[in-house]
Chains A and B, each alone.
Chain A
């Protein structure tokens, strides 16, 4: 970090961020204690299912931060961010598939079950080496990053902006959805990758492993948040906000708008990839359904509900909406889509600043 004081001052002024990081710290202590140390019959015991659920929400939170970074600070409404999320998930999924080894249904030491089922004789080239954890981790950020780089380079250079860009990102994830549904792609087709056994030699079903994954997610979210805060506070971040507010003027002043947009776009895609990589071991499956355009649009609504352009609002929105989703789809499955639809309309019409906008800021209180 070239200028750590910049980050410190940014964090000092960021009250919402302090609350978020504080809550994450509390969760990092409380969740393992309540899950592992409190006996199972106790009222305070937190079930492993709930731990995984929270972990899932926090992955969504990280994804929401990635979307908020480009939408809230750069004005790029991405309707295809789950494409990066899913690619990160597939990268770690491939590693987990290779870890199964001979314990698969068909017992092939190298080939994952679906390849045996499809009568494939050898591993496709892009599966080679995916049994090494460091390589898988690299792929988690590299693949989404490269896709974002290619797409962004083409799009920003030819000045595709606004709604057009949104529709293009949607087409991108839709194309990937169709592609991954094909068995010939070599990613398990319709069923995707599942039946994972262990990560780094630890059984994924163990409560301790679940807690470890949860803690990793908390850590990733905290680091991701601080990283985004830093990027925004840096020169790159300030130019990017200028682009959001007046792209033409920023260009005329002499900034090369395209490259600023491109870097923040690629960074955001990598964050989304990491979120996906944390998500997959916890839910235990990745399939092409994750690419569905509707998922990407849902992410955008988390950000809109939470409060766009705040980062912590995005996390709040992701957790709130997903908690509501879990509750509604269990209690009133019929009503969930009505509620989600209404949320879109209400958030855009009546809550331009999201729920965090409802909390009066310190300045307003003083006035």
Chain B
């Protein structure tokens, strides 16, 4: 309804600026109208003209106002929509002095004590006047429902299909004969498919209550194309002979239900698959940095989870620094987290891991010690409490595909982001000279060194790269969960599982392994519950490693022998 409100606002503004009509011009009419209003309030004869109805509205009780609303609509005045909108928004007021009704607006100065006034009949602006002398034309829930529905029928003519769709849905909330007739008229000239479908479904719901069996049958046939959960509920009721005397309609309902259920389960399958993929993406993001340090370098880095945590805290700090630019802060925190985590990673490599090459178990213990230190450091700096990183607008909300399927944007972005990170990493390793040296050192360190590669430097850079990716993964995680000192700990076992499952030293294995585990976990979840699904996955991997200890995609050739 946005265009509608803006046009109304523009109207009011123009009227305010051109406020040439003096207040006196209305005065002679005012006392007479007040009398008319008093009459309408007490006498049963309903007023018919638009100005008269408005006047009556001022003095009417809440229960009388619904009848007056119908009269207002029946008058078919071009300003009716503006009045209804103002009424719904609590901007319709009666001047206590003379009973005249005005559409009120905030004054240009923004003074809360006074109103800018617009006469609803002429749309001429006057005021500002002090708000003390006015009474709001109130409404209750029932009235607001009617108002919304009436307003929707006005907006049905909007050129914007989205607006029309909202209007149709609004009208269908409380359908009566009048709204149904309006909708039928609209259906004949409607061009947009989504609006057509919405109107069809609404009309079909109404037709289900029809006395004519053929109409009901047609309605059931129309509804069999729908996906909404409430359709099934309505059709279920028809299966009962007590509700539906006609045999044909009953059998049509059964067919329709099975067709809808089939489609819905298909879509819910797609949804589960998507949830699995997004969970898998998180696993892949967490594991892919590990795949580099563990897989390519053979170094066990138990502080990997903490490097993710540092990335997440980087996102938090960047957001603190620029609280008014959420979207920008997320985009900036990606490279920032890469650099921060990468530098911490290089420091770990130079300080500790370098001295322990060839002693994997000792490396494991030392890096575990580092992870404890990093956790406690973060606890000392940021407090042990969880922090939340706000989600920018383009990532919040969901993408509604149809009645049965809607996907949240942040998960869609995580999946895309994972693929981008993966592609970038593949490019670095496959297409750059850095990647060439990294692969050379990982395949045969002695030979690489004799070719003139500075293996020390390559080790540091590789470790930094893996750690930086962990930081980037941390930024992504900050969008899904709260950021806390234990953030990394909860992912470390999972990410090791993914790397081992996919096959050490193989990035594709990590991608496919992570996605597989994510989807399989989500598929199991409805059957056995989240915790049991997780346990089942762990047991599965433990057993899987017994069968194929090189993982899904074992490394081939000489490099594999070292493992």
Among the listed stretches A17-25, A293-301, A313-321, which one makes contact with chain B, having 4 or more residues with CB under 8 Å of it? A293-301
With a cutoff of 8 Å between Cβ atoms, the chain A residues found around residue B362 in the complex are 348, 352
A159: chain B residues at CB < 8 Å are 549
Smallest Cβ-Cβ distance to A350: which chain B residue: B355
Q: Could you tell me the dominant secondary structure of chain B's interface residues?
A: helix
Q: Are A175 and B546 also in contact (CB < 8 A) when A338-B376, A340-B372, A341-B376 are?
A: no
**Are the C-beta atoms of B545 and A166 separated by less than 8 Å?**
no
Q: A171-B542, A334-B380 are in contact. Are A342 and B369 (CB under 8 A)?
A: yes
Which of B360, B372, B535, B542 interacts with A341 by CB under 8 Å?
Answer: B372
Q: How many residues of A contact B (CB 8 A)?
A: 43
**Residues of B contacting A172 in the complex (Cβ-Cβ under 8 angstroms):** 538, 542
**Quick check: which of A54-62, A176-184, A358-366 contacts chain B, the rest being far away?**
A176-184
Q: Does B447 contact A (CB under 8 A)?
A: no
| Chain A neighbourhood of B545, CB < 8 A | 158, 160, 164, 168
State the majority secondary structure of interface residues on A: helix
Distance between Cα atoms of A178 and B542 in the complex (Å): 15
B residues 188-232 touching A (CB-CB < 8 Å): none
A28 interface hit (Cβ, 8 Å):
no
Q: How far, in Å, is B296 (CB) from chain A's closest CB?
A: 15
Cα–Cα distance between A40 and B454 once the two chains are bound (Å): 68
Q: Are B365 and A342 in contact, CB atoms less than 8 angstroms apart? A: no
Known: A154-B546, A338-B373, A340-B369. A175 touches B535 (CB 8 A): yes
| Residues from chain B with Cβ under 8 Å of A338 in the complex | 372-373, 376-377
The reply on A170 being an interface residue by CB < 8 A is yes
- Produce 1/0 per residue, A304-318, CB < 8 A to B: 100000000000000
The tally of CB-CB contacts under 8 A between chains A and B is 113
- One digit per residue, 1 when the CB lies within 8 angstroms of any chain A CB and 0 when it does not, for chain B 316-360 equals 000000000000000000000000000000000000100110001
Determine if B549 and A167 form an interchain contact, defined as CB atoms under 8 angstroms apart. Answer: no
Please pick, from A155, A341, A348, the residue contacting B371 in the complex, using a CB distance under 8 A.
A341
Tell me the bound Cα distance from A163 to B546 in angstroms.
Answer: 14
Whether B493 lies near A174 (C-beta < 8 A) is: yes
Contacts A171-B541, A338-B376; A345 near B370 (Cβ below 8 A): yes
The answer to whether A181 and B370 touch across the interface, beta carbons within 8 angstroms, is no
Q: Which residue of A164, A181, A344, A345 is within 8 Å of B549 (Cβ)?
A: A164
Please tell me if the beta carbons of A297 and B368 are within 8 angstroms of each other in the complex: yes
Residue of A nearest to B549 (CB): A160
Using A171-B538, A297-B365, A340-B372 as known contacts, say yes or no to A348 and B356 having CB atoms under 8 A apart: yes
Interface check B361, CB cutoff 8 A: yes
| CB contact under 8 A between A344 and B547, given known A163-B361, A174-B493, A349-B366 | no
In the complex, A168 Cα to B365 Cα: how many Å? Answer: 16
A343 in the interface, Cβ–Cβ < 8 Å? yes
A344:B369 contact, CB within 8 angstroms: yes
Find residues 324-350 in chain A having any chain B CB closer than 8 Å to their own CB. 334, 337-338, 340-345, 347-349
Asked whether A160 lies within 8 Å of B546 as measured between CB atoms, the reply is: yes
- Within B489-520, the residues touching A (CB, 8 Å) are 489, 493, 496-497, 500
CA distance A154 to B540 in the complex (A): 13
Binary B-proximity of A133-159 (CB < 8 A = 1, otherwise 0): 000000000000000000100110111
User: Are the CB atoms of A163 and B497 closer together than 8 Å?
Assistant: no
> B144 on the interface (CB 8 Å rule)?
no
Say yes or no: A154 contacts B531, CB within 8 Å: no
- Cβ–Cβ < 8 Å partners of A178 in chain B: 531, 534-535, 538
Q: Knowing A170-B493, A334-B376, A337-B375, say if A158 contacts B547 (CB, 8 Å).
A: yes
Judge whether A162 is part of the interface by a CB distance below 8 angstroms. Answer: yes
Q: Say how far B218's CB is from chain A's closest CB, in angstroms.
A: 51
At the interface, yes or no: A96 with Cβ under 8 Å from chain B? no
Q: Which of A154, A334, A344, A349 is the one whose CB lies under 8 Å from B368?
A: A344
Mask: chain B, 449-479; 1 = CB below 8 Å from A; 0 = not: 0000000000000000000000000000000
Given contacts A171-B493, A171-B497, A172-B538, 14 further A-B contacts (CB under 8 A): A154-B542, A155-B546, A158-B545, A159-B549, A168-B545, A175-B535, A178-B531, A294-B489, A300-B365, A337-B373, A341-B370, A344-B372, A345-B370, A349-B352
Taking beta carbons and an 8 Å cutoff, which residues of A are in contact with B? 71, 77, 151, 154-155, 157-160, 162-164, 166-168, 170-172, 174-175, 178-179, 181-182, 293-294, 297, 300-301, 304, 334, 337-338, 340-345, 347-349, 352
